Amino acid sequence: MQPDFIIVGAGSAGCAMADRLSRDGQHRVLVIEFGGSDAGPLIQMPGALSYPMNMPRYDWGYSTEPEPHLGGRRLATPRGKVVGGSSSINGMVYVRGHARDFDHWDASGATGWSYADVLPYFKRMENWTDRGHGGDPDWRGTDGPLHVTRGTRQNPLVKVFVEAGRQAGYPVTDDYNGAQQEGFGAMEQTIHKGRRWSTANAYLKPALKRPNCTMIRAFARRVVIEQGRAVGVEIERGGKVEVIRANREVILAASSINSPKLLMLSGIGPAAHLAEHGIDVIADRAGVGQNLQDHLELYIQMAASQPVSLFRYWNLLGKAYVGARWLFTRTGPGASNQFESAAFVRSAAGVDYPDIQYHFLPLAVRYDGKVAAEGHGFQAHTGPMRSPSRGRVKLTSSDPAADPSILFNYMSEERDWADFRKCIRLTREIFGQEAFAPYRSHEIQPGADVQSDEDLNAFIAEHVESAYHPCGTAKMGAVDDPMAVVDPECRVIGVDGLRVADSSIFPRITNGNLNGPSIMVGEKASDHILGRTPLPRSNAEPWIHLDWQGSQR
């Protein structure tokens, strides 16, 4: 078939667009995905989340250049190479972002993407199933494709974390995705009936049942542009290079690493950089590959004084039990990502909305599944939400098979270090509250002797990890902004018939995990692509701390 729309990438935004663009039966939609099937328990079982993001079968396997401010460390940059993209290998944490994040987008040139504009799309995509467990149904969607739920919160430590936050003087929130993000409360998950609810499950599989939506397995090499218009995609499959043409538009949704790479291979990007690689310049867009942002985090780990953590399952017999129970009943520890409590707090008085996030985990373990040597324990993942550091993605070659060069330039600003030291000290204060007294033994990491700014900086440099939230490399903004790559309707500036709709277009990183906002981009972009009037703006007023200027909590 010759499709009307070609979507490159079956990830968080791409799957949403495949569904929305094909839903009325009027348009033929083709999705190009290089990765393979998402079948199998390692992806579908939430508790197995540390496996797929470390498997070459499911991950592009990218890593950064040596990061100059982290002693030359190369950090892993996993991106999903599988149906569902990174929503099939992520931690399944669901965060919309704070209202002020989107108001900032709108003010910086992404007109029409304020919180009032995007809230209706968050509601349209959600199927929020936790009515009766806290939260405000007026702020949530109840019949969208994306199931959002909360864990069972059976482990006592999960509720102790929230109580400790309350004892430390912070607000408690019923629903950080509702009116009030700030505070301590239950964390939300994209899990449905014990199974990972990726965008492949939520959007793509229903769409592929329609006769007008198709997916092919192929490697996208570049966008084919004739007379200033995108007319198709050059792909490689079965050892052959061919061109698939689109009647209407090509939409890149290939991730904040691969979307800018494809733009540059197609002649769209900084002219001097393209010339270095012998690529003819079609549109000189200085912002392509620039403005790269991420969240970094530390794992602050405590040893437990009694055997209450998930460590009891961290052996062959325990893992067999968890796996078997999940396979047969879709229940038990395997049915949750175990991130069941969260917090969003402000680092200081004068900060108007949260700039620190917490994921709480009733186990002392690394993202790659390596458990702490101490046995029973618990940890908080914490880090600043709005780092001033910016990085870039560049080509290493005009050969589409070559990996791009990724440099986040992490921790390049003095403020980054001060923010992380604040995160550590605030976390110690929370773990020191009376609520943790029955369970607290001693600090594993950083360790009680690591106190001075200098020692904390050394710990940060050695142990800080990516939270795997890259974004910003094809910034959305005003047409006259020299660093903008797409306009507020996701159209690539300077080329007709081409859009980008994924986390690349974020002008600035949002508060929290990026899967939710990435799906929202796919939802809203679909209306722009179809020429529909955007959903009516919301009049909902989000909560801001009354004394944010005078009080940190």
Annotation: binding site for FAD: 82, 90-93
Strand order in the sheet with 249-252: 213-217, 29-33, 5-8, 249-252, 498-500
On whether the CB atoms of residues 130 and 104 are closer than 8 A, the answer is no
On whether the CB atoms of residues 407 and 67 are closer than 8 A, the answer is yes
Q: Looking up tokens 């050394």, which residue turns up? A: 458
Residue 376: active-site member:
no
Q: Looking up tokens 């801001």, which residue turns up? A: 544
3-state secondary structure of 492: strand
3-state secondary structure of 260: helix
CA distance 367 to 53: 9
DSSP string, 445-483: ETTTT--SHHHHHHHHHHH-EE-S--B-TT-B--TT-TT
CA distance 50 to 410: 23
Binding residues: 82, 90-93
In the chain, the N- to C-terminal Cα span, in Å, equals 58
Question: Alpha carbon of 62 to those of 8, 55, 74, 393: distances in Å?
Answer: 19, 12, 10, 11
What are 455's two structure tokens? 């020692």
On whether the CB atoms of residues 323 and 334 are closer than 8 A, the answer is yes
What are 460's two structure tokens? 């940060």
Q: What is the 3-state secondary structure (H, E, C) of 330-391?
A: CCCHHHCCCCCEEEEECCCCCCCCCCEEEEEECCCECCCCCECCCCCEEEEEEEECCCCCCE
Kindly name the residue from 147, 295, 376, 469 that is annotated as catalytic: 469
CA-wise closest residue to 86 among 17, 13, 191, 163? 13
| Beta strand residue intervals within 246-376, DSSP E | 249-252, 268-269, 283-284, 296-304, 341-345, 356-361
CA distance 508 to 101: 8
| 177 Cβ contact list (under 8 Å, min separation 6) | 94, 95, 96, 122, 135, 139, 140, 148, 188, 516
Helices (H) and strands (E) in the chain, counts: 13, 26
Phi, psi dihedral angles at 213 (to 5 degrees): -130, 125
Strands 146-150 and 126-128: parallel
Active site residues: 469
